[in-house]
Every structure is written in C-alpha cells, then in structure tokens.
Structure 1
C-alpha cells in the first residue's frame, strides 16, 4: 500500500455509530451525520447508510453532497450558502441552513427554475459568534419576508456552538432556541419540524447530572463523536467507543545522527515563522514523507511514545528517534493518532492515501 496513508477500521466505526445512534434514538432525537471530516468517502458513507436511526447527511461542501446522491437519506448543506451556488444547492441539497434573506431569495429563484420546493433551516447565533441571526427582530422580520416566497419552506431553527467561540451548550442557551421556535410558531402560525440543538458538543447534556437538553430540541448534528469516540464540549471519551478508528501511517525516508541545533544564522522558515530550538546534542533524526501540506504536525501524536515530533516543512516530518534503538529503518512506517483537525486535513489531502480494513 502506498504511503502516506490513513488506515480506517470500518468495524470500529460501525460500533461507534451504533452506540451513538442508539443513545440518540432513546432520547427521541433525530440524527444528522456530518460527513465532511472524511470527505464523504463512499466506503464510509456505506457504513452510515446501514443505520436507519440516521435521518440526514450533513456537509459544508456541496461537492460532498453530490457524491452520495444515491443515498436515501436527506441531504443538508450545513454551511451558510454562497449565492453563486444556489442552483447546485437546490438541485443536490434537500435542506440548507441560512441566515441571509437575499441568499434565500436566490435559492427561491433557483427552486422556481427547477420546479422544486426548497427547505431551509434558519440559523440562530446564541453567542458563539460564528453564523446565524443574532438580532431577534431581524430574524422575525426576515421570517415574514421568507414566508412570502413561493418555493421556500421554513423547516426549522438551528444553532451552532463550540466550533468558533467555544461556547458550551446548556439548557439556558439552547432553551433560547426553543423559545424562539415558540415565538415564530405563534406569530406566524408556522409549524417548525426541526430544532437542531448543535453538534457533538451537545451530547454531554444527555448524561449530565447538573444540566440537561431542553425539551423541544429534536435534532443533533454528529460528526466528531462518530469518528473519534468523544463528546466535544469537554473532550471526554466514551468508554464504549473506539478512539482509534483512524491511524495515520508515514514512511521513513531518512534516518541519521545529526545535531539537534541548526548550524548558521537562524531566519524564518518556509512558512514565515522564526523557530526556536533546544540544543540537546546529537540525536537520531528521522524524516518521514509527509508534511504541512497534508497535516499540521502539532495535531498528530506518534503511537510509539519513544518518538518525538520536532517539526515539519511542506513535505517532510522531522522526528527525534534517539530512544528507539534499532527498531526502525528507512522504509519502515511510523504510526500516528489523529485529532479532529488533523483527520480533516489529512483525509482531504489527495496525497494521503486511504486504506479500509475490518
């Protein structure tokens, strides 16, 4: 198998999905499975498709939604749409998340041309300060205007928390979303089917002894928990889940004893940073064939605890392998665990191959 590569254990993934799917079904929550972190790879989509508890697929890239049109699950564009992609959104997404009236008008025009009714969910900003209506009066006024559009149907409300501002979801801020739903229904005689209470960071509320998920929240968007086996509000792992579904493997292309401190005047590196070094004397330094073009070296961890990541350029990962004895030679692979960020970047790099096992 070519390197570098990500090895995906589909059996572990399936067990992770089964655990969370059962957990949310027991709480009568519909599930939007977010597919962007693994670039909606068909091998993994096939695993998700097995679970009837998953009602929707959600992705921020229309290209990914296009790739699994054969799936019977409804597709949601979870990133605020670009007006320039309105035609594709209506064609390939059953639902889109929105916060701008003029963009919704573009979607309405595209839906007219395609003879479709396009469903939208209005995003509300409850303090994380990424996307969504922050001004309640603007939300009310825009809702009135959207209701006049012939080919748009307002399906519900949604909020995003923790992704940008790192604001933790709780019964208070999510309760505001439920109250807004009630206001809109009463004011405009709307029936709002979906109240999406955030992402994997809201999962802890299902187990908390001090907080709770407010009644009225009926959907969660789950991405990281399925693939890495942890909730994302506090980063707690689920003992019933696998945290090692993915393993990154990179091949050693050089292994030599060299000084630990560069020789000569130190300027800036290829990325404009001025690095700092500690002189540890001579060390066994390994070079692996993967770099910052593929993954952030700060977001991966060697599975062999004797190995330390020293840094990386675009294409080379520099390793301190002084404590590994004779266990590694040029041509051998070094294995790494992945964070959500490193999984996202490396899986979407075309230079990192994918291998699926059971």
Structure 2
C-alpha cells in the first residue's frame, strides 16, 4: 500500500446502508444515497446500492455520470446551472430547483430529447441556503404546472447546512402544509416530500417526523454512522468505514517552540505555540493539499496533531506507547469535511478492504 491513502471497508458500508434504510422503512421513508463525498466512485456507490438505497443523489453531474451503470433513479442535488440544462436532463432523472428560468430551460431541454424530467421544488424553511420562501410557493407551482417536459415530482428542503438550522416537526411540517395547499388549489398531488439530510434522522428515532415526509437524502449517516444534528452515532452502525493512513518521514526530538521571531505561516496565519519543552515529533507525508487536517483524529489517542503545511503534518508522539519509526503508518478517523477533501485530492490513494 502507498500513502497517503484512505481505506474503505465496503462490507461495513453496505451494513450501515442496510441499517439506515431499514430504520427509514419503518417510517415509510425512501433513502436517496448521497455519493458526493466520495466523488461518485462506483465501487463505493455499489455498496450503498446493495444496502438498499432507492435513489442515487449527487451535487455534480460529473459524479452522476459514473453511476449510469446502476439501474436506480438519479437525483441532481445542486440546483442546475442554466448552462447544464441539457446535461441535467441527460444524466439525472430528478433535479432540485428553485428558479423558474432554470426549470423552463430544463423543460426546453427535455422536450427536445422527448423526455420528462422530474422537479423537486426546494422550499427554504429557515436555513437560508437554496429554496423559495413558502409564501412564494403557490405562484411558482402555477407556472411550473403549465410547462411541458417537466413534472413537479416533489417538494424538498435543506437544513443543517449554511445556517445550521436543526430539522424539527415544525419546520418540516411547512412542506406538508404546502403539499396540502397545492392539492387544494390545483388538484395536483405531490409525490415526494424530501425532508432533508442526515440531520433529520433524530426525528425518526423520537417519532417526531411528519408522517407525510417520505424521502431523506443521506450521506454522512451512511458513511460515518452519525446523525448530523447532534453528532450522535447511530445504533448498529460502524464509524470506521473510512480510515486515513499517513507514513512517517521524519522522527526527531525537537523543541516545542520555534526559535526566532514568529511571522505568518504558509497560509498567512500567525501561529501560537505552547512551550512543552523538548518533544518527540513525527512528520507525516501529507498536508492540507491532501486532506482537511482539522477533521482528522489519530486512532492512537496519545498522539496530538500540532499542525500542517501543504504537504507536511506535524505530530507530537511523545506520550504514545507505540515506539514509532520512520516508515511506520499512523491511522486516523475522518470527519465529513476530511472525507470530502481526501476523496477530492488526487494525491490520496483509495484502497478497498
């Protein structure tokens, strides 16, 4: 094995998927498996498919292209760019939308291709990322229903993201209310109510999710076994599907405080150091160009990450009971941001176990 690398346990990932799919099934909720954090790599997507997801969802068309081999509906999660209208119709069956001009462009593209493209209209219930305000929903729905080539398939919302707003019975009930108003005014039945991401799972466990919510878009909970509202690990899931591995390239005893006047570091920040005397420092061959260092946690909990430049990570191994040597590999767990960056970096190799 070469380094730095991420190892992926596909069996554990499949089991995580099955556990969460079964939890959602108890509430009549389908699961859209979100593949963006691992850039849509088919081998990893396959484990989620085997675990029982109903849809493959990704923010990038480039990743959805990699999933065309799977016979499941594809959802484009990021609002389509106008310049992407043709590709959105070609590579996704469903897309999240909030702008009429974009929906009209999708309509034109779908008609040219003799297809029907499904739309999930995004509603902003408080997080202030994408979505129309609830008060504007009925007017936009009226315009969408007049378009050919597109089908208003669902309503959705996004939480736990830009604004960090936690999903609740109250804010998700806004979708339910709008569905009922659409039925009443237009005699049109909305098929899907997509009630957010992994942050909504706490509502399932407490039986506080509105019963009309019938879809969740799940990534972190499947990949890391964690719901994202309160950072709690889910029962019967694995938190070690992904492990980051870095090789030690230098191991020396050095002072804990640099000598000389301290100025900005390589990233323009002025570092602050605590004087611990002489410490045993290891340098691992990875850095910020490879992974979000702040999202790594050494599996050896007696190691401390001191910092990193673009391609060197400095570790304090003084207290560790392991007698590390040059060439040894240090293993780390990854949070969601670290996973995202490690899979995006071409310098981090990926291995399956």
- Tell me which residue corresponds to 2:2: 2
Q: Residue in 1 aligned with 2:129?
A: 130
Asked if the contact 2:80/2:102 (under 8 Å) is kept, the reply is yes
Q: How does 1:53-202 map to 2 (within 5 A)?
A: 53-136=52-135, 138-202=136-200
Assess, with a 3 A threshold, how the Cα gap between structure 1 residues 83 and 27 changes in structure 2: closer, same or farther. Answer: same
Q: Which residue of structure 1 aligns with residue 278 of structure 2? A: 282
Q: TM-score, normalised by structure 1?
A: 0.96
Matches of 1:220 and 1:247, distance apart in 2: 26
Unaligned runs of 5+ in 1: none
CA deviation digits over 1:211-231, x for unaligned, max 9?
601121111111111111111
Moved over 6 A (4+): none
Equivalent residue of 1:305, what SS? coil
Structure 1 residue 110, shift from structure 2 partner = 1.4
Instruction: Flag the 1:86–1:335 CA change in 2: closer, same or farther, 3 A.
Output: same
Unaligned runs of 5+ in 2: none
**1-side partners of 2:294 and 2:245: how far apart?**
16
Tell me the distance in 2 between the aligned counterparts of 1:239 and 1:158: 27
**TM-score w.r.t. length of structure 2:** 0.97
1:243-254 residue pairs with structure 2 within 5 A? 243-254=239-250
Q: Secondary structure at the match of 1:90?
A: helix
Tell me, yes or no, if the aligned pair for 2:31 and 2:215 is still in contact at 8 Å.
yes
CA distance in 1, matches of 2:195, 2:256: 49
How far apart are the structure 1 equivalents of 2:54 and 2:296? 32
**1:19 corresponding residue in structure 2:** 19
Q: Deviations over 1:77-136 (max 9, x none)?
A: 011111111111010000000001111111112112212111110000000111101252
Alpha-carbon distance, 1:15 to partner: 1.3
Give the 3-state SS of the residue equivalent to 1:50 in structure 2: helix
Count of aligned residue pairs for this structure pair: 353
Q: CA deviation at 1:33?
A: 0.7
Task: Kindly indicate whether the alpha-carbon contact (under 8 Å) linking 2:126 and 2:165 is maintained by their aligned counterparts in 1.
Answer: yes
RMSD over equivalenced CA pairs, Å = 1.2
Instruction: Please name the residue that 1:309 is paired with.
Output: 305
Query: Which residue number corresponds to residue 35 of structure 2?
Result: 35
C-alpha distance in 1 between matches for 2:343 and 2:270? 29
